[in-house]
Structure 1
Amino acid sequence: MTQQWRCEKRRSCGGVPQEELATGERSTRNRVARSILDHGPSTVADLAGRLGLTQAAVRRHLDALVSDDVVEARQQRVYGTRTRGRPARVFALTDCGRDAFDQSYDVLAVDALRWIEENAGGEAAVAAFARDRMEAQAEAYRRAVEAADPETRTEALAKALTADGYAATARNAPVGEQLCQHHCPVAHVAERYPQLCEAETEVFSRLLGTHVQRLATIAHGDGVCTTFIPKAAHRSGDRSAGGSGRTSTTGGPARAAETTKAAGAARTAKAAKISSQASASTAGRNPA
């Protein structure tokens, strides 16, 4: 599970008590975290002085922030001659805590892809970058899919995607399955550069051994990225050993020729029957 996905899970607002929202506890807690962001690692006394709170109130908010993995306690670094006694504890933001505040990673990624597009080969260069990025990311997905039974490969892929932060699930559909990704870490970038989504779809198709269809994407404004996998993807014996995807025919070319000849004879007999019935039904009628 990626660091980003862990942070988002821990920042879920679904479990915030109503009394906490009503009394402004969350707002004050955010002020404590923001003060640490603005001033760096801080002691309880530092925070109390800056925010006009009692040290007991600051400690209570810090305990909650530590529990949510937003801040962590450290020993204060001492430069120069150390005084007697235990060094004071300071509280600093964790990586998850920093991610809770505004970041410009999406802007940076879009700027980088725009530079590639304008200076290194246009849209084809962006597509090549997207494919190369996805190929490196897909190695773990390939291992998961190959280790699964044919009937559970979509589910195995969903679990591998979830471990990468995509919150994916697999569910049955009338003529196949749907792979649903409820989160997309690169949605804002993919909104500008859909080549990222296209490269991902190509990888899914190759991993599952069938043509897949992307029905919806978060980057396009949909609530969930949805990919349709036809039922044929899990039909045993539908792919040759060489991976060509062609249905094998028992008996070789001779058997195939016999099958074709029999099918032609059946079609001829059917046509003759229809013609005979048509002649009988029109016998004795006035052509006018």
Structure 2
Amino acid sequence: MSLLNELRNNGVVKNVGEGSHEELATGSRADHSTRDRVARSVLDHGPSTVADLAARLGLTQAAVRRHLDALVAENIVEPREQRIYGARTRGRPAKVFVLTACGRDAFDQSYDSLAVDALRWIERAAGGGAAGEEAVAAFARHRAETQAGPYREAVEAAAPEDRTEALAKALSADGYAATARSAPTPQQGEQLCQHHCPVAHVAEQYPQLCEAETEIFSRLLGTHVQRLATIAHGDGVCTTFIPRSTTTPSASASTAGRNPA
């Protein structure tokens, strides 16, 4: 998994901390966690030298450099010349590391809170209960339909047998890291897999977002589809089953956005 996607996971971001003295093996999941801590320290403290980061995180400077190299390769941080205020001292100024725009976006989870607050307001303004849930569902359907324009163009331009792949590519262009593959029994259909979901943390509380997306997939592909797993539900990938045979489109509200019981 890309380190950028690791950073975008709220669980990773919320659990990072400073002060651990462990040196972690390169390439392991724990190593990624340490890199998250390095990036978070830059976010919290601003432009930082290798020495600054080593002191704050309890790591050796060699270990910090190794993690910074990986973060630079992922376009999460970038090196800059340190600004010197006042009289310059002898020698070259120390290099500092700052977050890139991409790296900052990876940590910016305030939009999740804003989205949840907005949906909660819609729910309450509609009177709560079933009326509130339907108001949120109406918003989710409107959002999904608005997003679907480019997806529809891509699907309609593809041959029938290539439409799932075309949808996956369109979703990937929108940040969902989607792929299409044959189902375990290929003659039965395909699976559309979304390896990233920008609204997963909001959908944990409001599954109507997943349900509306599933309905859109059904309409775009011209067949009933079944959502088998979702990131919002705790699964590693959002997986949607698309049967080979074309039937009347009708995404089931009982399974859309949720794992089947």
Pairing 1:15-164 to 2, within 5 Å after superposition: 19-20=25-26, 29=35, 32-47=38-53, 50=56, 58-77=64-83, 89-98=95-104, 103-120=109-126, 122-163=132-173, 164=175
Q: CA deviation at 1:176?
A: 3.6
- Describe the shift of the 1:201–1:90 C-alpha distance in structure 2 as closer, same or farther (beyond 3 A): same
Identity of counterpart residues, as a percentage? 72
Does the 8 Å CA contact 1:69/1:97 hold for their aligned counterparts? yes
CA RMSD of aligned residues (A): 3.9
Does the 8 Å CA contact 1:166/1:185 hold for their aligned counterparts? no
Q: Which amino acid in structure 1 is aligned with residue 144 of structure 2?
A: M
Would you tell me which structure has more helix in proportion to its own residues? 1
Q: Which runs of 5+ in 2 are unaligned?
A: 10-23, 249-261
1:27-49 residue CA offsets vs partner (Å, 9 max, x unmatched): 76555434322321123454456
- Describe the shift of the 1:211–1:57 C-alpha distance in structure 2 as closer, same or farther (beyond 3 A): closer
Q: Which runs of 5+ in 1 are unaligned?
A: 13-17, 239-288
Does the 8 Å CA contact 1:71/1:92 hold for their aligned counterparts? yes
SS in 2 for 1:227: strand
1:195-214 residue CA offsets vs partner (Å, 9 max, x unmatched): 11221122112211233333
- One of 4, 8, 12 as aligned partner of 2:5: 8
- The two structures have a TM-score, normalised by structure 2, of 0.65
Does the 8 Å CA contact 1:158/1:169 hold for their aligned counterparts? yes
Aligned residue pairs total 224
Does the 8 Å CA contact 1:48/1:55 hold for their aligned counterparts? yes
- The two structures have a TM-score, normalised by structure 1, of 0.60
Does the 8 Å CA contact 2:176/2:194 hold for their aligned counterparts? no
Distance 2:55 2:234 in 1: 45
SS in 2 for 1:211: coil
- Describe the shift of the 1:83–1:112 C-alpha distance in structure 2 as closer, same or farther (beyond 3 A): same
Q: CA deviation at 1:114?
A: 0.7
Q: CA deviation at 1:102?
A: 8.4
Q: Which amino acid in structure 2 is aligned with residue 185 of structure 1?
A: P
Task: Tell me whether 1:227 sits opposite 2:237 in the alignment.
Answer: no
Task: Tell me whether 1:212 sits opposite 2:212 in the alignment.
Answer: no
- Describe the shift of the 1:51–1:136 C-alpha distance in structure 2 as closer, same or farther (beyond 3 A): same
SS in 1 for 2:242: strand
Larger Rg: 1
Does the 8 Å CA contact 1:145/1:153 hold for their aligned counterparts? yes
